Amino acid sequence: MNNLSKPVAILALLLVALTSLLAGLSRLDLHDSTEPREAGVSAEMLQENDYLLPKLNGQPFLEKPPLSYWLQSQSMAALGYTNLAPRIPSVAAAVGCVLLLAWHMGRQRRRPAAGAMAGCLLLTMGSFWLHGRQARQDALLMFGLTLSLLSYYHANNSSRPIHGWLGYVLGLSIATLAKGVIGLAIPAVTIGMFLAIEAGWLDRRLVLSRWVYPVLLALLALLPLVGWLYLLGRQHGFGPVREVVWANSVGRFVGNYEQGAHAEPMYFYLKQLPQIFQPWTLVLVVAIWRWRGKWRADRHRVFAICWLIAPFVLLSLSAGKRPAYLLSLYPAAALLITSYLLDESGPDGLGVLRRLAVAEAVLLGGIGVVLALALRTQLAPATTVLLLTGAVGGMFLLWWAALRMRWRAYFSTGMALMAIGYTAYGARVLPDKINRDSLRRVFAELPRADLHPGGAVLFNPSERVASAARFYLRGPVPTVATAGELDEAWKRWPGGRVLIKARDAEGLANLFAERKLRVGSDEYWIAVTTRGGDRGGQE
């Protein structure tokens, strides 16, 4: 693996990343509350040809800046209203992060194999793989932050820093246009912590220019966001600008934002630590423990640990918390793990590596067995037995390589098994698991809004349902909230159908349920009116 050429390493990594991240996405329906919402906002942007003000079924939706909506809408324009289209920007951002990390580590170590190792470690972190396949802003934010921080490090340690500073500015612009102020705050605390350690511990002197350049260039990087806010305010007034900058940034941080704040206690992320970087959490913990007292020897290691710690503290102080918000820490973790695996030496160090490798072999083998059992309902018995045999055989092969310290064989086997596992899980297990509770089944029973305006009406819909309607029905869908408004809708569109939750329908007269469908814990009715003895819309 040490003799791996740079083009071969990059191409192999790109192929593995695309295969595992795209596996099954075309069959996997939009799920949870976030994906239908993001796809609905993007679809409305495309349908209305209004790229300035994001809207959710006609209402302004300003929780985030518009970069992800711009990219998703153009993906829909190219690929249609498919499951894959709104996820393409996230997949591209995740692949970009993997390649950026490989480029950085390969350049840092002057070994393409080191870069391939870093990229593979990042790609095979479970949460990275999962969020890199979802239609949301987190992967774009991570890509922007990764580009800005890696570019900053190279600019700060290069005799020709211009390319590094350009990457720094571009990365910050992407991060802030994807998710607002947090896209600036995370690099700020990371670089600030690193510069403080550099001035007070590594160099023991303050170099003012090292502080000034990042600040001035960060102001330059804000120009795209400021330009969008200026145009937004000019056309729609100060209210939307205030909502983006204050309510959805400062408000989320301090906990004053009521809708979508995801408020959690300060220790929330501490509880998540054992599972954050799986399956490599144990290796990261051992690496940090083994490096105690040795940080000054490696400036790159110091920078990576600042990237890991400073944003973690910042995000823990924020009132709004979700596991996906920690995605920006994953590249730093991959850098630290790679550095440890490449640098560990000596009898004691090799013994630690051997024990770690055996423990990881048990973990990966167990995951393989669980995956094979999860697939048993979809595969022939002989195929299931073959998969189980492969999982157990792979675990023993990893044990053999670990005990004999055949690290090239160990790493290659482990990465191959994980790539196959993620691909199989994405292609077979997730669609079967997720699609049973998909809203696509519901909207497949309703007429498309672009072909039959008023053919469908939503009664008191949730945010998820309203946005999914815009995506699946491909046009504006009327919404009513009371029985009186529903009566007016029947008069205007006598042949229409209403989508209503069963518990809401119980209090309404003159409804006939043509279809009843259950999505998760909710039952939905597709109903028509029976007023005057006529089931409007039935033929």
pLDDT tens digit sequence for 433-476: 888 888 999 999 999 998 899 899 999 999 899 999 999 999 99
Of 523, 448, 456, give the one whose Cα is nearest residue 492: 456
Of 498, 477, 476, give the one whose Cα is nearest residue 487: 498
pLDDT: is 321 or 104 the higher one? Answer: 104
Average confidence (pLDDT) over 200-220: 91
Sort residue 56 into left (φ over 0), alpha (ψ -120 to 50) or beta. beta
The pLDDT assigned to 534 comes to: 47
How many whole angstroms separate alpha carbon 389 and alpha carbon 382? 10
- Percentage helix, strand, coil, to 5, in the chain? 70, 5, 25
512 strand-pairing partners: 528
pLDDT: is 222 or 450 the higher one? Answer: 222
Say if residues 21 and 94 touch (Cβ distance below 8 Å): yes
Q: Is the pLDDT of residue 56 over 50?
A: yes
Of 304, 398, 309, 403, give the one whose Cα is nearest residue 360: 398
Average confidence (pLDDT) over 342-352: 79
400 strand-pairing partners: none
In sequence order, what DSSP letters do the residues of 220-233 get, joined into one string?
A: HHTHHHHHHHHHHH
10 Å CB burial of residue 445 (0-12, 13-18, 19+) is middle
pTM of the full predicted structure?
0.92
By three-state DSSP, how is residue 497 classified? strand
Diameter over CA atoms, the chain? 88
Token pair listed for 151: 């570019």
Q: Is the pLDDT of residue 119 over 60?
A: yes
Token pair listed for 361: 């072999």
pLDDT: is 303 or 248 the higher one? Answer: 303
Which stretches of 404-518 are DSSP H helices?
407-424, 430-434, 440-443, 463-472, 483-492, 502-505
Does the CA dihedral 143-144-148-151 come out positive or negative? positive
Say if residues 184 and 175 touch (Cβ distance below 8 Å): yes
- Average pLDDT along the chain: 88
| Range in 65-79, 213-227, 338-352 the model is least confident about | 338-352
Cis peptide leading into residue 279 (ω within 30°): yes
How many whole angstroms separate alpha carbon 329 and alpha carbon 306? 10
Distances (CA, A) of 537 to 451, 486, 494: 15, 15, 7
Confidence of residue 90 (pLDDT cuts 50, 70, 90): very high
How many whole angstroms separate alpha carbon 482 and alpha carbon 489? 11
Confidence of residue 537 (pLDDT cuts 50, 70, 90): very low
CB-CB neighbours of 450 under 10 Å? 11
Distances (CA, A) of 509 to 479, 522, 534: 18, 20, 14
Contacts of 362 (CB under 8 A, 6+ apart): 395
Say if residues 429 and 374 touch (Cβ distance below 8 Å): yes
Say if residues 164 and 155 touch (Cβ distance below 8 Å): yes
H or E segment to which residue 348 belongs: helix 346-374
Q: Is the pLDDT of residue 417 over 60?
A: yes
Confidence of residue 173 (pLDDT cuts 50, 70, 90): very high
Say if residues 146 and 101 touch (Cβ distance below 8 Å): yes
Q: Is the pLDDT of residue 249 over 90?
A: no
pLDDT: is 2 or 141 the higher one? Answer: 141
The pLDDT assigned to 539 comes to: 35
How many whole angstroms separate alpha carbon 149 and alpha carbon 332? 10
Q: Is the pLDDT of residue 533 over 60?
A: no
The pLDDT assigned to 472 comes to: 95
Average confidence (pLDDT) over 17-31: 94
Contacts of 52 (CB under 8 A, 6+ apart): 66, 228, 231, 232, 235, 236
Confidence of residue 256 (pLDDT cuts 50, 70, 90): low
In b/e form, how buried is each residue of 2-34, taking b as 16+ CB within 10 angstroms?
eebebeebbeebeebbeebbbbbbebbbbbeeb
Q: Is the pLDDT of residue 181 over 80?
A: yes
Pairing of strands 479-480, 497-501: unpaired
